[in-house]
Structure 1
Amino acid sequence: MPGRVAGKVAFITGAARSQGRSHAIRLAQEGADIIAIDIAGPVKSVTGYPPATEEDLAETVKEVEALDRRIVAHKADVRDTTGLRQALDDGVAQLGRLDIVCANAGIFQTSPALELDDAGWQETIDINLTGVWNTAKVALPHLIANNGGSIIMTSSLAGLKALGNSIHYNTAKHGVVGIMRSLANEFAQYNIRVNSVHPTTVNTIMIQNEQVWGLFQPDNPHPTRESAAPVFQALNALPIPWVEPVDISNAVLFLASDEARYITGVTLPVDAGAFIR
């Protein structure tokens, strides 16, 4: 039986690990070929966790190829429109088309508002907001040439309601919704659908690090994954501390597939009920 996105090509940013790798694998399982990009190298960052590596990106390639799907992978930074466009154009040249765009690359860094420095603000805005726009900008000409496609932007629960100590993150993720709705309106005439997904905490390095555990337990001098879990769970209506990357990937797959052919301009929470809590 053909897969749900058989014969399609998906462009995924932040594809070296975590949600991005999960999206690549899940779409490949359903028949898509993949154009994968990630910064994948040593960079100075204000986050509390290490960046993805070339080895991480190579592992994504290995896992997609194990599914007998084609993948073109490049190192590129979503803040660099020229490099991003070159990576995508090469992928399209090799794979022949573009149907699906997953603007997934992002970072998470926390700080009380009045302790947030300029570097922390700018890095988060540049990657989580401008990087999403850059991804869409370089992809849209290919989707127009293809007579349509689906763009899925990764926002957050923080794109629907504000989380504490994260003004820069909240601002960027709310801004993603503005980009999504604007593009959904403007490019519907080309049969291009644009939607956003809004995860609660996801079991990846983005939340599973000491900085974030400490944010949720400010009175605990030695926070751990185990001690943080009940606090994470308190965010959600369902009795779980976090969802898994594949839970987001299943939503991405649905929005990318023809099952969602008339769904556009939608903010889709995958949040264990955190938004309604």
Structure 2
Amino acid sequence: MSRMAGKVAFITGAGNGMGRSHAVRLAEEGADVVAVDLPSAAADLDETRRLVVELGRRAVVAHADVRDPAALRAAVDAGVAELGPLDVVVANAGVCDNPGPAWTIDDEIWHRSLDVNLTGVWNTATAAVPAMRDGGGSVVIVSSTAGIKAVAGAAHYSASKTAVVGLARTLANELGPEFIRVNVLHPGAVGTRMTLNPETMARLRPDLENPSRDDVVPVLAANHVLPVPWLDARDVSNALLFLASDESRYMTGTQLVVDAGLTQKV
């Protein structure tokens, strides 16, 4: 396939989970990839690079915290120096802490969520957009169904994921004259470590001492219209591919939801 042939994609949070899936899916369609993640994710980034190169595409890895604008600019510069101007920017990096009711959230957790999930998207855009190819491109901001539907016990996460929608709308208006499109992708529960980790599974099944993946299946499936507990990361990446490719060339300022019906559940 060649829907992304000749294009260069810059992806944050690309060391694992959805970020790695996005990198591989775009590479399968012909894109070269600049994969960015935290310095602590060096081994994960190396694996992402291996998977992209295995597909016959070029890959540059860069270590940067999205809260650090200078580090992001250095990552962009390194990618562009080797691969050329950017065609696609995927603001994927994010964190999800679930401490409880809003009034119990401490300052550190609140600010970490806003700094990574909102300001990190802003930093990614301001670092990468100036390096995009003349003639346009696509910016995809990965939000969450928490940016659409209230999530009790996650005021900080919901606030950050809702705020990026407003940011995307403004960017879409500002960048439209340059034929740079900006859209938001809202995944539901995805079967990655952000969802299937001991802390989250314990929150979902407080009646069990050490709940397993199988134990949380009925709880998560009950949230969906379609009878599945979670999405595969590739399901989200397929939607991202559409937004990144020329197939969506006249879509900007929009929101695409991939959630097995979570936001429609009565």
TM-score tier by shorter-chain length is over 0.9
Alignment-mate amino acid for residue 245 of structure 1: A
* Cα contact 2:76–2:131 (8 A) shared by 1: no
1:116 to 90, 102, 105: 105
Alignment-mate amino acid for residue 108 of structure 2: A
1:248-263 matches, within 5 Å, as: 248-263=236-251
TM-score (norm 2): 0.97
Verify: 1:233 aligned to 2:221, yes or no.
yes
Verify: 1:57 aligned to 2:56, yes or no.
no
1:203-222 matches, within 5 Å, as: 203-222=191-210
Alignment-mate amino acid for residue 191 of structure 1: F
**How far 1:54 moved relative to its partner?**
1.3
* Cα contact 1:155–1:196 (8 A) shared by 2: yes
Distance 2:172 2:208 in 1: 44
* Cα contact 1:61–1:71 (8 A) shared by 2: yes
Identity over the aligned pairs, expressed in percent? 50
SS in 1 for 2:264: coil
* Cα contact 1:153–1:180 (8 A) shared by 2: yes
Equivalent residue, structure 2, for 1:46: none
Distance 1:119 1:162 in 2: 22
Unaligned runs of 5+ in 1: 42-52
Distance 1:181 1:77 in 2: 24
**How far 1:115 moved relative to its partner?**
2.1
Counting matched residue pairs gives 264
Alignment-mate amino acid for residue 55 of structure 1: A
Unaligned runs of 5+ in 2: none
Equivalent residue, structure 2, for 1:26: 25
Distance 1:256 1:275 in 2: 23
Verify: 1:92 aligned to 2:91, yes or no.
no
Distance 1:71 1:146 in 2: 22
* Cα contact 1:40–1:56 (8 A) shared by 2: no
1:139-154 matches, within 5 Å, as: 139-143=128-132, 145-154=133-142
* Cα contact 1:25–1:64 (8 A) shared by 2: yes
* Cα contact 1:229–1:241 (8 A) shared by 2: yes
* More displaced stretch, 9-18 vs 217-226: 217-226
Distance 1:131 1:255 in 2: 20
* Cα contact 2:6–2:30 (8 A) shared by 1: yes
**How far 1:211 moved relative to its partner?**
1.1
Distance 1:240 1:55 in 2: 31
Distance 1:199 1:172 in 2: 15
* Cα contact 1:16–1:40 (8 A) shared by 2: no
* Cα contact 1:99–1:146 (8 A) shared by 2: no
Equivalent residue, structure 2, for 1:70: 58
Equivalent residue, structure 1, for 2:3: 4
For 1:88-133, what per-residue CA distance to the aligned partner results, in whole angstroms no more than 9, with x for missing partners?
1111111111100010000111011222111111111111111011
Distance 2:135 2:128 in 1: 13
Alignment-mate amino acid for residue 26 of structure 2: L
* Cα contact 2:96–2:157 (8 A) shared by 1: yes
Distance 1:7 1:164 in 2: 44
**How far 1:40 moved relative to its partner?**
3.7
